[in-house]
Amino acid sequence: MTTIPRPKDWVMGINAYVPGKAATASGGPVAKLSSNENPLGQSAAARDAFAARAAGLDRYPDAAATALREAIAAPLGLDPARVIHGAGSDEVLNMAVGAYAGPGDEVIHVRYGFAMYEIATRRVGATPVVVPDKDYGTDVDAILAAVTDRTTLVFVANPNNPTGTYVARDEIARLHAGLRPDIMLVIDQAYAEYLAPEEDDGALELAKTADNVIVTRTFSKIYGLAGERIGWGYGPAAAIDAMHRIRGPFNVTTAGQSAAIAAVADTAFVEASRAHNDRWLAWLTAEIEALGNAGLRAVPSRGNFLLVLFEGRLSAEAAYHGLMDAGFIVRWLPGQGLGNGLRITIGTEDELRGLMAALRTLIDDAG
Ligand code: PMP
């Protein structure tokens, strides 16, 4: 009898992350509206800073990402020593779970949440606990009711992906106040920069003083640097220390660090991206709502994407394939229990107008 190395049971219990479909050549123009990327690209200054680093390819990056952490911290009034950098915020989420959960521990997240929470939880042998939503949004009471003696970490994304729903400041405060102090609350703010200043959920303020709050953010969304994999987290010194112990040693590239530093400084680009998103998210929401008699419904979103529910003759699955044939890649989410939903990233005006025209044709054809 031969024996072979056996992967851990908890690893084999993971369904690998399924990314949004890549924009491959299909014979026609392709609009990729499936991964919540920035349709305006990125700051020209970030692009220049990235290109300037081509000469240093043979050298390791700054392992501590000191200049990047200082650039992130200054405008937000944070302590740079408590900023931790990651290869995308995915790595920061993994580090948080790696530091605070293991076999026997429970990690809570909402039903319609980011797929990485479950993967990050299972990869350390901990148990994901999934709580029901309230109108597709985060239900603070359901989270608090799911806490047990074994709970060590709670994930909340604000705004949430893939629903776009948003938890107001008082609800975040209520959630935090209702958790035992030995439970780490991880507030994933990948889309926070799309919110107006008055919509700030207070998570960073909380993380400045609380011993059990970690906030994560990313350069992949409004900063348009998804290809470089740069994210960060902010938390209490003890948590940051623990997370550094399991961080990849040179986890953010030299060019990525430079691009991100330039991106933070270009506030005009961020403003323009937010204004574009506000305008076209509102437009797309209204367009979908106008198709209510065909059974389409938009979940009100504060992200750079819109979840559209298909409850009429045209199914989400048929719409997904039909839009793909017409050159529009969107995200169909059966793996997240949203077989009746498509998530559409806010693209350029042309992309969104084209997508709506294609969607109307599909509805007409479905009779
Ligand atoms: N959190 C949420 C809620 C997300 O939607 C994403 C990206 N899809 C991430 C984290 C991770 O993004 P990145 O690793 O590119 O920072």
Decide whether any atom of ligand 1 lies within 6 Å of the 277 Cβ.
no
For ligand 1, atom 7: residue with the closest CA: 190
CA of residue 233 to ligand 1 center, whole Å: 12
The CB of 224 under 6 Å from ligand 1? The reply is no
Q: pLDDT tier at 62 (50, 70, 90 boundaries)?
A: very high
For ligand 1, mutation pick of 33, 37, 72, 116 (most atoms within 8 Å of CB): 116
Residue-wise over 206-239: b if at least 16 C-beta within 10 A, else e? bbbebebbbbbbbbbbbbbbbebbbbbbbbbeeb
Q: Which CATH class is domain 9-41+268-365?
A: alpha beta
- Domain parsing of the chain, residue ranges: 9-41+268-365, 44-265
Average pLDDT value for residue range 260-286: 98
Query: What local confidence, expressed as pLDDT, does residue 26 receive?
Result: 55
Q: What is the pLDDT of residue 1?
A: 63
Of 2-11, 21-30, 44-53, 107-116, the least confident: 21-30
Q: Give the pLDDT confidence of 309-332 residue by residue, as tens digits.
A: 999 999 999 999 999 999 999 999
Any ligand 1 atom below 6 A from CB of 90 = yes
Is the CB–ligand 1 distance for residue 89 below 6 Å?
yes
Cα dist from 128 to 82, 124, 349, whole Å: 27, 11, 39
Cβ of 88 below 6 Å from ligand 1: yes
Pocket probe for ligand 1: among 37, 114, 217, the residue whose CB has the most ligand atoms within 8 Å is 114
CB 187 within 8 A of CB 325: no
Closest atom of ligand 1 to 231 CA is 16
pLDDT band at 19 (very low <50, low <70, confident <90, very high): confident
Q: Is the pLDDT of residue 295 over 70?
A: yes
Confidence of residue 114 (pLDDT cuts 50, 70, 90): very high
Q: What is the phi/psi pair of residue 80, to 5°?
A: -60, -25
Q: Phi, psi (5° rounding) for residue 152?
A: -120, -15
Task: Tell me: pLDDT of 282 over 60.
Answer: yes
Residue among 21, 42, 84, 90 to mutate when testing ligand 1 (max atoms within 8 A of CB): 90
Complex ipTM, two decimals?
A: 0.99
Smallest CA separation from ligand 1 atom 2, residue: 190
Residues 206-256 pLDDT 10s? 999 999 999 999 999 999 999 999 999 999 999 999 999 999 999 999 999
89 CA closest ligand 1 atom index: 16
Share of the chain above pLDDT 70, in %: 98
Atom of ligand 1 nearest to the CA of 160: 3
Residues 25-37 pLDDT 10s:
456 668 999 999 9
Here the tokens at position 163 are: 């629903």
Mean pLDDT of 34-44: 97
- CA–centroid distance, 55 to ligand 1, in Å, is 30
Note the pLDDT of residue 54: 87
What pLDDT sits at residue 367? 78
For Cα atoms 46, 49, 52, give the angle at the middle one, nearest 5 degrees.
Answer: 150
Task: Tell me, rounded to whole angstroms, the distance of Cα 169 from its chain centroid.
Answer: 19
CATH 3.40.50.300 given to domain 44-265: no
